Amino acid sequence: MRLSTLRLSSTRTAAARVDRNRLTLLPFPDVGALLTCESWQEHAAAPGEPLTPPHAPIESGPLTTRLATFTQVEVNYATRAIERDTPSPPIPRLLTMPVTAVLGDRDVFRSTPAPQIEWGVELGVLIGQYTSCVPRSRALRSVAGYTVVNTFAAIGRPATIAMGPHFVTADELPLGARGLTLTAALDGRLRQKANTSDLLFDVATLIEAVSARTVLMPGDLITTGTPAAISTDRLHDGGSITVGITGIGELHTTVTHGPNPAIGHVRPASGSGEGREARA
């Protein structure tokens, strides 16, 4: 099953089921809210409300707005360890980071003068059930599904997370989301390419490690780390970033500089309609 969050107006969003070219609205403000419901799979498969004009054209919104923190793996590709001139870690190095904003597809990221804002493609794992101290052998039962993530972060600052536009349930992808190609491009130029089979610590191992130190709740996010060749150069005004994972989708973000507008939305450089803006 493929789900998304849609912006129906400037004040209304809704979770939706995506069946090829057909969209069905679900009675939840976003996918994150849906995942917090008991028997969320049944709600996601319910008949719902077929989306028809005048709602079109439709824009994607953030999959969830409930993230206050998320867990990221610092180094999870051998190429990334080489790039950082450090040995591959024997166990996952987990970072729990505060989140200042969550962006959707074609939203705007407002870059600040902070040095070394890092970004890069990651496989995002969304949790579907209460999980605590789960062994690796049962860890994948906790996975609701997967999405594409691009985390903008600078040392000592909260992160801005772009995620989406689609959430794909675990049963639609290979076990543990293995064998999927990840790419990232800046202004159309390929900057990253890797495969989830190259992860040093697979999804089950990460859930075991994270759930040993904190309780995971439905809708929580674990990102599995970014490959080598991330960019720490200052992002230029008007820059276009595209990150994608085969079988899940592509996520587009536009970078902008300058003072905050009076209203917290600006029109992106590409795509239709308005995009949400966030600073980091």
Of 56 and 254, the one with more pLDDT = 254
Mean pLDDT of the 21-40 span: 93
pLDDT in tens, 64-91: 988 888 999 989 999 888 888 888 899 9
* pLDDT level of residue 271 (50, 70, 90 thresholds): very low
Question: What is the structure's pLDDT at 113?
Answer: 63
pLDDT band at 26 (very low <50, low <70, confident <90, very high): very high
The lowest-confidence range among 136-140, 213-217, 256-260, 274-278 is: 274-278
Neighbours of 253 (CB within 10 A): 25
The predicted model scores a pTM of 0.88
Q: Does residue 114 have a pLDDT over 70?
A: no
**pLDDT of res. 231:** 58
Q: Is the pLDDT of residue 158 over 60?
A: yes
- The model's confidence at residue 262, banded by pLDDT at 50, 70 and 90, is very low
Segment 177-224, tens digit of pLDDT: 999 999 999 999 999 999 999 999 999 999 999 999 999 999 999 999
pLDDT of residue 237: 83
Whole-number pLDDT of residue 261 = 38
73-77 contacts, C-beta under 8 A, 24 or more apart:
73/201, 73/206, 73/222, 73/223, 73/224, 73/225, 74/225, 75/200, 75/225, 76/199, 76/200, 76/201, 76/224, 76/225, 77/194, 77/198, 77/199, 77/200, 77/225, 77/226, 77/227, 77/228
> Going from the N-terminus, what domains does the chain have, and what CATH number goes with each?
2-60 (no CATH), 69-279 (3.90.850.10)
